[in-house]
């Protein structure tokens, strides 16, 4: 499904009905999300998994990579496992249905892509990223919502789910995560209505905030501080960026996923329109994370290099480019999109 083919209201309703019917028929369901799960992908999968188990289904979230420490409280024993071919391949291949949430493209299934592609089960995706669908039989995809959690919430209501804290809490994490705490431009009246209904179902927002945002180890906070001290400004302070190489990670005993969190702080700097973070993957491969304050469509730059995301939050991995080449290349591309500075009167 491409952006030009984005579905209308009737298409979404029909897709939701088709997915609900298939999940009701299924006996075994495997749920999954993208590599390095975030609150939206994981929260959506966990909530749907719990409802299916209540309906007597054999359901489990199996993912290509582990969950960051600050989200591991979201799942209970037996709900989530990291994919291991010897243990899980047969289960994936023989499942009646596979449900992927918030993946942003089939390649982000990582090492689960091959077994999911070979599975006999109906392949379902629930997502608010638009991309060419080369895998899924029943796609529920639209950019006209705040999050995949919002789509999952509507699907669960359509399926007659009993919305209590057990289902509401992971959905709230997903909603809060992808709206930036209800600050991003995709935050709609419907998103706030959904939040209110989740609170009525028993979610304690302060408890969720403490468990999600107040668990940063001292070493990680120190590392982020080191990266902050290296921030550089371009284009009259409207573009901010920094980078990290493998040696810096090793020296500070830090994993890449911890470093990428810094990009979410870039737009706090006064006057900044775009923030860019560069990560060395190998000497010839660079990962780039981009954030926009709302003027520049950073997804256009990411797509040009095989990536994707949203208009104001996107990323890509550039092959055949080390840091020294990738940095000026991407900064030039962003600079071309920045609007001209208006002269002071």
Structural domain includes residue 238: yes
| Residue ranges in 201-269 assigned as alpha helix (H) | 205-213, 218-228, 246-251, 256-260
Instruction: Using alpha carbons, select from 5, 217, 22, 43 the residue that is nearest to residue 146.
Output: 43
pLDDT at 144 over 50: yes
Q: Cα 165 vs. chain centroid, distance in angstroms? A: 22
Mean pLDDT, rounded, for 89-97: 98
Nearest-angstrom CA–CA distance, 171 and 173:
5
Model confidence at 256, pLDDT cuts 50, 70, 90, reads confident
Structural domain ending residue among the three candidates 213, 248, 277: 213
Q: Are residues 193 and 289 in the same domain?
A: no
Nearest-angstrom CA–CA distance, 79 and 169:
15
Q: Are residues 193 and 247 in the same domain?
A: no
Q: Is 152 exposed, middle or buried (0-12, 13-18, 19+ CB in 10 A)?
A: buried
Each residue's pLDDT tens digit, 2-27: 333 445 567 999 999 999 999 999 99
Structural domain includes residue 10: yes
Q: Are residues 226 and 327 in the same domain?
A: yes
Q: Are residues 257 and 116 in the same domain?
A: no
Mean pLDDT, rounded, for 115-139: 95
Lowest mean pLDDT among 67-71, 178-182, 205-209, 259-263: 259-263
- What is the residue-averaged pLDDT of the chain? 93
Nearest-angstrom CA–CA distance, 103 and 65:
13
Each residue's pLDDT tens digit, 269-319: 999 999 999 999 999 999 999 999 999 999 999 999 989 888 899 999 999
Structural domain includes residue 169: yes
pLDDT at site 344? 59
Nearest-angstrom CA–CA distance, 187 and 175:
9
Question: What radius of gyration, in Å, describes the C-alpha atoms of the chain?
Answer: 20
Entry pTM: 0.88
Nearest-angstrom CA–CA distance, 9 and 250:
49
Looking at the chain, how many residues does it have? 345
Nearest-angstrom CA–CA distance, 249 and 280:
10
Each residue's pLDDT tens digit, 44-61: 999 999 999 999 999 999
Q: How many domains does the chain have?
A: 2
Nearest-angstrom CA–CA distance, 258 and 167:
28
Asked if 16 and 45 touch (Cβ cutoff 8 Å), the reply is no
**Residue for token pair 């179902």:** 201
pLDDT at site 4? 36
Please report the DSSP string for 265-325 in residue order: GGGGSTT--EEEEEEEEETTEEEEEEEESSSS-HHHHHHHTT-EEETTEEEEEEET--HHH
More confident residue, 253 or 282: 282
Question: What is the domain-level CATH number for residue 11?
Answer: 3.90.1640.10
Structural domain includes residue 343: no
Q: φ, ψ for residue 105 (rounded to 5)?
A: 135, 140
Q: Are residues 200 and 223 in the same domain?
A: no
Q: Are residues 106 and 184 in the same domain?
A: yes
Model confidence at 132, pLDDT cuts 50, 70, 90, reads confident
Mean pLDDT, rounded, for 99-125: 96
Each residue's pLDDT tens digit, 150-168: 999 999 999 999 999 999 9
Question: What is the domain-level CATH number for residue 232?
Answer: 3.10.310.30
Q: Are residues 188 and 40 in the same domain?
A: yes
Structural domain includes residue 342: no
Nearest-angstrom CA–CA distance, 182 and 74:
20
The DSSP output letter for 107 is: G
pLDDT at site 2? 38
pLDDT at site 345? 56
pLDDT at site 6? 45
Instruction: Using alpha carbons, select from 210, 312, 227 the residue that is nearest to residue 262.
Output: 227
The domain in which residue 63 lies consists of: 3-213
pLDDT at site 211? 96
């Amino acid at each position: 499904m491409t952006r030009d083919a984005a579905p209308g209201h009737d298409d979404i309703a029909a897709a939701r009905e088709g997915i609900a019917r298939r999940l009701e028929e299924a006996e075994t369901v495997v749920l999954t999300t993208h590599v390095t799960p975030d609150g939206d992908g994981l929260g959506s999968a966990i909530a749907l998994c719990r409802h299916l188990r209540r309906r007597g289904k054999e359901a489990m979230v199996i993912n290509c990579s582990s969950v960051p420490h600050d989200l591991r409280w979201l799942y209970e024993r037996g709900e989530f496992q990291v994919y291991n071919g010897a243990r899980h391949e047969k289960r994936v291949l023989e499942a009646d249905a596979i449900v992927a949430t918030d993946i942003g493209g089939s390649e982000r299934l990582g090492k689960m892509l091959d077994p999911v592609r070979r599975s006999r089960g109906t392949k379902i995706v629930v997502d608010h990223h638009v991309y060419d669908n080369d895998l899924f039989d029943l796609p529920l995809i639209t950019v006209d919502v705040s999050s995949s959690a919002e789509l999952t919430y509507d699907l669960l209501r359509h399926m007659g789910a009993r919305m209590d804290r057990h289902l509401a809490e992971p959905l709230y994490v997903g909603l809060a995560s992808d709206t930036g705490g209800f600050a991003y431009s995709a935050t709609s009246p419907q998103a706030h209505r959904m939040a209110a209904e989740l609170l009525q179902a028993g979610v304690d927002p302060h408890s969720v905030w403490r468990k999600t945002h107040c668990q940063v180890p001292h070493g990680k906070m120190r590392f982020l501080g080191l990266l902050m001290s290296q921030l550089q400004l371009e284009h009259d302070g409207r573009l901010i960026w920094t980078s990290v190489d493998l040696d810096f990670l090793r020296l500070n005993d830090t994993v890449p996923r911890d470093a990428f969190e810094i990009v979410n702080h870039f737009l706090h700097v006064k006057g900044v329109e775009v923030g860019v973070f560069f990560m060395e993957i190998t000497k010839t491969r660079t990962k780039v994370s981009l954030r926009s304050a709302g003027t520049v469509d950073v997804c256009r730059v990411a797509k040009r290099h095989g990536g994707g995301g949203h208009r104001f939050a996107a990323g890509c991995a550039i092959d055949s480019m080390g840091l020294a080449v990738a940095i000026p290349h991407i900064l030039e591309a962003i600079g071309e999109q920045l609007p001209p500075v208006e002269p002071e009167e």
